[in-house]
Structure 1
Amino acid sequence: MAPKLTGFLLIALLCCPVSCDHKRDFPELPAHRAEVFQQLASFRGTSRYKRDAPHSRSAQQEDWSSSCASGDSDQAKLNKNTHKYTFVDDDGSTVTLAWVGDGTGIILALTTFNLPLVWLFFGGTSRLYRSEDYGKTFVDISTILNNYYIRKEFGINVGPEHSKKVILTADESRHIGHSGKQSGVIIRSNDSGETFHSIRLPFHPGQPMLYHSTNSDFLLAYSADHVLWLSQNFGATWVTIHQFVYTYTWGPGNTIFFSTHPNGIYDKDARGVLELKRTTDFGKTFTTLLTKIYSFGFAGRFLFASVISNQTLPRSVYVSTDQGDSWNKAQLPPVSHEQFYSILAADSEMIFIHVDEPGNNGFGTVYTSDDRGILFSESLERHLFSDTSGTTDFTNVTSLRGVYLTNVLDKDNNIRSVITFDSGGEWKPLKKPDNSHCDATAKNSEMCNLHIHAAYSISQTLDVPLPPLSAPNAVGLILAHGSVGDAISTMIPDVYVSDDGGYSWSKALTGPHYYAILDSGGLIVAVESNPDKAIYNIKYSTDEGQCWKSHNFTNETFIFVGLVSEPGTKSMNVSLWGYSHESIYSTTWLSITIDFEELLTRDCQEKDYVRWLAHSTEAAEKTDGCILGYKETFQRLAKASVCRNGRDYVVSKDQSLCSCTMGDYMCDFGYYRVEDSDKCVEQPDLADRVLEFCLQGKEELLKTQGYRKVPGDKCEGGFTPNRSEQMTNVKCEQVLSLKESLSKITIVIIVISVLAASVLMMTGIILIFKKYVCGGRALVYRYSVLQTNTDEACVADNLDSSRSNTERVYHDDSDVDLLE
């Protein structure tokens, strides 16, 4: 027990200088920039987040309706279906969870204990557990690890869909009898973890292996010496694709895209001189698609690349819809070396892109593209985006099409929330919930709206456990933390729920909570976030958050860390992970799984569902519910129905086309919308000028009345403005080749990244819980997809030398790869 005690004491001492006062540690910045970013990210002494004295949790009263029945009648059923599992004698300081398959109930839990101190490591042990009943019980299968230490930054790498494939990456340098050679070992399973086999690699892995999206036997691996490797038989044998690779991704079919240095070297400062290459035959032949690229990415049917044609000129974005055979320059404002682009979202129809404003102000402009990804129109000004933390609050509400949430930084230096229901055509403030009042920070009661906390608030260590949550099979449902006022407040946030895709909201729970959607929205569960204090109850609602009941799941001391449910929101099981203190010297991991199937025993029938018109705001109007050119009427569960949708539930809907209106159009290139109006007006600086752009090497003349249809809009007839593009014989330069040498200037930052909208629908979801006690602070809880490199904790972690070459993190002087 003594080594373990020493380890935790060391971590506490190392962490306190940074973490104990709730401040965030910032990367090193030039002197003229550091002050600006410190002001942007710190909540002390700034008005960006409204501040006031937080309300006391001990005095919190839930705003549950007095008409809601208590959960006493359910207690006996839930008691019989509450299952506790104790990970006896497990010294793991982190635990990583992964679901294998869809609806199989199989969970793998990997615990690791590793206490780094400079170049020394204390511990370095791993244990692996397997459950076949959604976490109610586990079997210790650690013997399959053969005493290997599994690298926590790699975690459990689960294959796509129903592949049953799992990869664990070992750190051979900590294995007994290590020869010192730079090679690696993976421990793989193709039967959902029932059996494992170890494979020695001809390289040392530098990043988690990347599965092909449809063929899980195909793997890409990136070695610590910057070589791209390929396996076509689930890691049994490997071949080299290319050396000196910077970034890479799978494309359609057997296509692989990657960037490399033209001189056959690896230089970490070589952004802007790289070549983008493609292979469609697994590395037998290569095609160079672009030169002088800074970074690239692939999403939907769009291939993106940022290009520096001349080191003294700004950067530009180029887009291809034919996998790089032809390119067109996106009609966007160029950015200097001190600005950045960011792809916020992309699908087969359109692209959302953020363009940073000059001056390191922490905001920029959101543009939306046409269906070719070439012509962009201004969608939202003063969009909040911090390049210190690399976070944006831009959120795709997957429970209803065309809906996105984000935050803006107003001229008064406050952060406010806005929402769009038509894919960026128009942005509006969120309505104030009827059951809420403006908080004490509001200076203008006439501007009392709901404001949502998302990734930026979490990055700044506000008490926000989770970002907004929605799911495609829970139609219209959104859960989010927020505050009500004229701007976001740093008062302790409450949980708000929308059942109509963001048009209206209601306060559901007082104070911050962890929450999860179960049974396709038929059940919501929540656990109060109260760091380092024992939790005894879980709250649940069967009517989309109107009424809540409480279940006392334990009478023992349980320090709650995270709430876990199977990806896809169809399960009826939820697990609470945490630990108990055996003594002041040690802790023990606990998992408490609650099965709600015995509570909702009746399968839903036809009479339990109602027809609901999405986007309905004015029932008397003929155009009511028309968004993106058509109406959608869903069959969704009535709030009063207490029944089970079941795993086979499929969202049912009917569609009907609408006549076109101005609302079906975005402002065309060179035009913008006046506030609170559908009318597009010409930008003053482009008035009376011929609008032209480069398309496939030829100059195109654009004749427009200022409108272009929103990509994906299906309306017919009605408002039909004239618009034409006329190709001339004048050649235009699309991409310049790099022939001159790279000038030695510092390329500061360009962030090009995609926030995947379908994260929760992927089969392999990994969650990480950390048990490092950092000066009494809250334990860290992180959520990640197929990689475990997002956990951010103590200084002690940063001293772990094994992380330096393996993690992909945001840097102030380099790109963040697109679509990793």
Structure 2
Amino acid sequence: MTSTLWVLAVCFPLLAGVSAGFAPYADRTQTFSRTLVTREINPRFRRDAGVRSSSFTPSEVTLSAEELPKLEDNTHEITFLDDDGSSFILTWVGDGTGVILVLSTYNLPEGWYLGVSSSRLYRSEDSGKNFHDISHVINNTYIRKEFGIIVGPGNSGRVILTADGEGVKSGVIFTSRDSGKTFTRIDLPFYPFKPITYHLSNPDYLLVSSIDKCLWLSKDFGNTWIKVHDNIQTYTWGQGDTLFFSTSLKLTVDADRRGELLLMRTEDLGNTFTTVASKIFSFGYLGGFLFTSVVKNAGDPRVIYISTDQGDSFNQAQLPSATMEQFYSVLEADNEMIFMHVDEPGDTNFGTVYTSDAQGILFSKSLEHHLFTMLGKSDFTNITSLRGVYLTNVITEDGYIQSVISYDSGGEWISLNKPENEECDTSAQNCNLHIHGEYSVFNNKAPMTPLSDPSAVGIIIAHGSVGDSLTRPDVFVSDDGGYSWNKTLKGPHHYALLDSGGIIVAVEYYPEKPIKTMKFSTDEGQSWKSYNFTDLPIIFVGLASEPGTKTMNISIWGYRPEDEYKATWVSVTIDFEALLNRDCEEKDYVEWVAHSTTEQNKGNEGCVLGYKEKFRRLRKLSVCRNGRDYIIIREQSPCLCTKEDYMCDYGYYRHENSSECVKQADFKDQDLELCLNGEEEVLQTTGYRKVPGDKCEGGFTPKRTEKDIHKLCGQQSQSQERTAVTAVSICVLVLALSVGVFLIVRKYVCGGRMIAYRFSALQLQDDDLCIAGESEQSAVINEGGFHDDSDEDLIA
């Protein structure tokens, strides 16, 4: 997905104490919000087995005599000579503005007698070709490194810097409405505990929690603040002006109180409140779905409920039960469906992926042995360059990692095809491509996860290896959404997409080896040209480009060591516009039907999820620029429905290599009873339900109905306009009906058997990773990393 925020943050440690010793410049290359470690746990990466014996040589093309001076004339190197900051945070402000802010901070570590901290603020208006020290606009105030630079949504031009006030009861922010040209100092009546979050559509609305667990709201971009509520635990923006937060009636909301929390909602920015759920442990909001994990009775495992109407009503997710040692985790959610991971018992580091119906209630099994470690790392990736495509990794019985891909939103998962220009070693039992994901980045096996973007149709760039499981990474490129792949670069690299995929840039990854060369391709990775972007090598830190892929500029960041305690930060920006000096014309594009270009899909005419799409794409050999105004042109047409457009309904499953859905043994000769919107219904089905988002028409149309049997069930929210007297009356009514409701719930789905759909976690913090209260709209800036979107923090 695209985002209007791009943050690059790098920190390196100073002396930890005279007696502790010092490793100069250690961990400076830890970028992209990852803490790279060398510790290895099961699942494992193969080290020797399956190593390929290929004669592949990347196609390298020498820069012409005309191209070299054009690049040299448009390469701009900035050296921050007088800056001795121990960390740099680089942030783009908006998309297409060319504005970059850089925050440099210097801290002496704990253990030193003198507490010395300082900050410098730099600004560029030309995509990093020139920077100006603007520290004076914030009166040279020290800015809190852990909060970084908080940029508003879209091209709002809003920027917030957070500083310390006098004492722990007050804080200071600097706000800008003009992309950092000017700043206004504002003294806060509280001390911020978390970074300030913006409302998605109105950047004047700000939300933050204080160190004393109060929730504060501003309606005028921080000039004035009102206290929304005391004693809050987590919070998030919902749709419109809706705000959710969890709170406790007790004096504390620590871990011991979780499971006793209330989920509150305000739809008018704190004027009135509604309790939408009680006894909750945690909650989250993503893709229009409100998730809550509820403790029905003290000591019981947690149960997950889902709401699609902002908390007016909840339905219990129909998922397999989980013990206290297991957890659920939402991998992905949009307005059409949810991908849910259910952990396996024991310390297995894997589980099962289920996909939901459009209401987020009924789930079907999608993928077994899915990699999800106890450390909260999963390789599940949404390939945004082609609809319906998801990529992830599974664990074999012997504990090794293999990759699978789905082209129909989880309906079927298959192995990745072996690239034509690669061969497997004879010792490999199977020969497929395997892709490194988040778990590999965490374990320092690869520097980046797979990269795709909606503007670069069909293109995926990823680290991978060929064999029977993951080994040492090379760079592979797919131009058709993952059906076919080509090895394009040897060894690990950092990479970026420019000009809507018209240019791919890569820099070889060496943790501590200085570099001065970058590579770029104008034909989707089929050939590469090398360019020395500097005369004096730098220790590479990262690539910095505008959000999305429209830009023609790329900045390479790093540092040059001067001595054991000091380094000089360097930014080199390269503008490719002069090199691609011709605008693309109609002759430079070709029509392409998605999901139909390989032998694997021969005969389906590109019908996936009920319709086919025809795109206009750039020809590989066309050396021209798409430009910032480039718009994806697509044509959509529906297909006839087949069984492939349907998932197996609740209580049914598909035999391997079969499209037929058959009833599970546990449900034979029993009615399928469901709790929907507080009323029990009997599901009458022939075993099929359409895949969410599928747009097929006619053809195979199985019958499916839900018959209301007029029985209450589940958990209902309180009315939004309930008076105190009415609330008491309803509470009495609930108590009077509690026994009857319990008897109904006991026959919940399987008649007479109590099916528990538990939501629990390995540890308290693990549950936070699964369902946390961070907003999907907020930009979270972590020390030592960058985030282009906060969804990673919302749902793990």
Q: Given the two structures, how large is their TM-score scaled by the length of structure 2?
A: 0.87
Contact map agreement 2:204 2:219 (CA 8 A) in 1: yes
Consecutive unaligned residues in structure 2, runs of 5 or more = 1-11, 718-730, 739-760
Instruction: Tell me, yes or no, if structure 1 residue 48 matches structure 2 residue 44.
Output: yes
For residues 241 and 765 of structure 1, the distance between their equivalents in structure 2, rounded to whole angstroms, comes to 22
For residues 237 and 603 of structure 1, the distance between their equivalents in structure 2, rounded to whole angstroms, comes to 49
- Among 58, 62, 66, which residue is 1:64 paired with? 58
The amino acid across from 1:142 in the alignment is S
Q: Could you say which residue in structure 2 is the equivalent of 1:614?
A: 594
Q: Could you say which residue in structure 2 is the equivalent of 1:807?
A: none
Alignment of 1:67-146 (within 5 A): 68=61, 70=63, 73-117=66-110, 122-146=115-139
The amino acid across from 1:51 in the alignment is R
Instruction: Tell me, yes or no, if structure 1 residue 419 matches structure 2 residue 399.
Output: no
Deviation at 1:245, TM superposition (A): 0.7
Instruction: Tell me, yes or no, if structure 1 residue 467 matches structure 2 residue 449.
Output: yes
Alignment of 1:169-568 (within 5 A): 169-172=162-165, 178=166, 180=167, 182-388=169-375, 390-438=376-424, 443-444=428-429, 447-462=430-445, 464-489=446-471, 491=472, 493-568=473-548
Contact map agreement 2:283 2:771 (CA 8 A) in 1: no
For residues 47 and 344 of structure 2, the distance between their equivalents in structure 1, rounded to whole angstroms, comes to 26
Contact map agreement 2:164 2:170 (CA 8 A) in 1: no
Using a 3 Å threshold, how does the CA distance of structure 1 residues 537 and 72 change in structure 2: closer, same or farther?
farther
Contact map agreement 2:285 2:291 (CA 8 A) in 1: yes
For residues 718 and 786 of structure 1, the distance between their equivalents in structure 2, rounded to whole angstroms, comes to 40
For residues 639 and 13 of structure 2, the distance between their equivalents in structure 1, rounded to whole angstroms, comes to 68
Instruction: Tell me, yes or no, if structure 1 residue 784 matches structure 2 residue 787.
Output: yes
For residues 766 and 168 of structure 1, the distance between their equivalents in structure 2, rounded to whole angstroms, comes to 12
Contact map agreement 2:518 2:533 (CA 8 A) in 1: yes
Deviation at 1:304, TM superposition (A): 1.1
- Among 678, 682, 702, which residue is 1:701 paired with? 682
For residues 601 and 258 of structure 2, the distance between their equivalents in structure 1, rounded to whole angstroms, comes to 57
**Deviation digits for residues 722-766 of structure 1, max 9, x if unmatched?**
2221110222233699999xxxx996543554899x99xx99797
Q: Could you say which residue in structure 2 is the equivalent of 1:805?
A: none
For residues 637 and 755 of structure 1, the distance between their equivalents in structure 2, rounded to whole angstroms, comes to 41
Using a 3 Å threshold, how does the CA distance of structure 1 residues 669 and 54 change in structure 2: closer, same or farther?
closer
- Among 694, 697, 702, which residue is 1:713 paired with? 694
Contact map agreement 1:98 1:764 (CA 8 A) in 2: no
The amino acid across from 1:94 in the alignment is S
**Deviation digits for residues 122-164 of structure 1, max 9, x if unmatched?**
4311100000000011000011232321111110000001110
Deviation at 1:566, TM superposition (A): 0.6
Q: Could you say which residue in structure 1 is the equivalent of 2:673?
A: 692
Using a 3 Å threshold, how does the CA distance of structure 1 residues 215 and 434 change in structure 2: closer, same or farther?
same
The amino acid across from 1:459 in the alignment is F
Q: Which moved more, 1:707-716 or 1:264-273?
A: 264-273
**Deviation digits for residues 599-637 of structure 1, max 9, x if unmatched?**
001000111000000001459966320011000000010
Q: Could you say which residue in structure 1 is the equivalent of 2:552?
A: 572
The amino acid across from 1:635 in the alignment is R
For residues 54 and 551 of structure 1, the distance between their equivalents in structure 2, rounded to whole angstroms, comes to 34
Using a 3 Å threshold, how does the CA distance of structure 1 residues 84 and 312 change in structure 2: closer, same or farther?
same
For residues 568 and 19 of structure 1, the distance between their equivalents in structure 2, rounded to whole angstroms, comes to 28
Q: Which moved more, 1:579-588 or 1:160-169?
A: 579-588
The number of residues matched between the two structures is 737
For residues 59 and 342 of structure 2, the distance between their equivalents in structure 1, rounded to whole angstroms, comes to 45
Deviation at 1:12, TM superposition (A): 8.0
The amino acid across from 2:15 in the alignment is G
The amino acid across from 1:131 in the alignment is S
Q: Could you say which residue in structure 2 is the equivalent of 1:794?
A: none
The amino acid across from 2:355 in the alignment is T
For residues 295 and 614 of structure 1, the distance between their equivalents in structure 2, rounded to whole angstroms, comes to 40
For residues 263 and 782 of structure 2, the distance between their equivalents in structure 1, rounded to whole angstroms, comes to 33
Q: Could you say which residue in structure 2 is the equivalent of 1:793?
A: none
- Among 617, 622, 626, which residue is 1:645 paired with? 626
Using a 3 Å threshold, how does the CA distance of structure 1 residues 50 and 543 change in structure 2: closer, same or farther?
same
Residue 116 of structure 2 aligns to a residue whose secondary structure is strand
The amino acid across from 2:449 in the alignment is P
Q: Could you say which residue in structure 2 is the equivalent of 1:799?
A: none
Identity %: 56
Using a 3 Å threshold, how does the CA distance of structure 1 residues 554 and 586 change in structure 2: closer, same or farther?
same
**Deviation digits for residues 313-370 of structure 1, max 9, x if unmatched?**
3322111111111111111123232211111111111111111111121111111111
**Deviation digits for residues 669-692 of structure 1, max 9, x if unmatched?**
112222333222322222332211
Deviation at 1:49, TM superposition (A): 1.6
The amino acid across from 1:161 in the alignment is G
For residues 319 and 700 of structure 2, the distance between their equivalents in structure 1, rounded to whole angstroms, comes to 27
For residues 709 and 264 of structure 2, the distance between their equivalents in structure 1, rounded to whole angstroms, comes to 31
Residue 587 of structure 2 aligns to a residue whose secondary structure is helix
Residue 116 of structure 1 aligns to a residue whose secondary structure is coil
Residue 7 of structure 1 aligns to a residue whose secondary structure is coil
For residues 767 and 257 of structure 1, the distance between their equivalents in structure 2, rounded to whole angstroms, comes to 23
Contact map agreement 2:432 2:468 (CA 8 A) in 1: yes
Residue 577 of structure 2 aligns to a residue whose secondary structure is helix
- Among 144, 164, 172, which residue is 1:151 paired with? 144
Using a 3 Å threshold, how does the CA distance of structure 1 residues 380 and 118 change in structure 2: closer, same or farther?
farther
For residues 73 and 193 of structure 2, the distance between their equivalents in structure 1, rounded to whole angstroms, comes to 46
For residues 303 and 784 of structure 1, the distance between their equivalents in structure 2, rounded to whole angstroms, comes to 23
Contact map agreement 1:315 1:336 (CA 8 A) in 2: no
Residue 611 of structure 1 aligns to a residue whose secondary structure is strand
Contact map agreement 2:495 2:507 (CA 8 A) in 1: yes
Residue 79 of structure 1 aligns to a residue whose secondary structure is helix
Contact map agreement 2:284 2:772 (CA 8 A) in 1: no
Q: Which moved more, 1:721-730 or 1:580-589?
A: 580-589
Q: Given the two structures, how large is their TM-score scaled by the length of structure 1?
A: 0.84
For residues 111 and 64 of structure 1, the distance between their equivalents in structure 2, rounded to whole angstroms, comes to 38
For residues 610 and 120 of structure 1, the distance between their equivalents in structure 2, rounded to whole angstroms, comes to 67
The amino acid across from 1:342 in the alignment is S
Deviation at 1:720, TM superposition (A): 1.4
Deviation at 1:662, TM superposition (A): 1.2
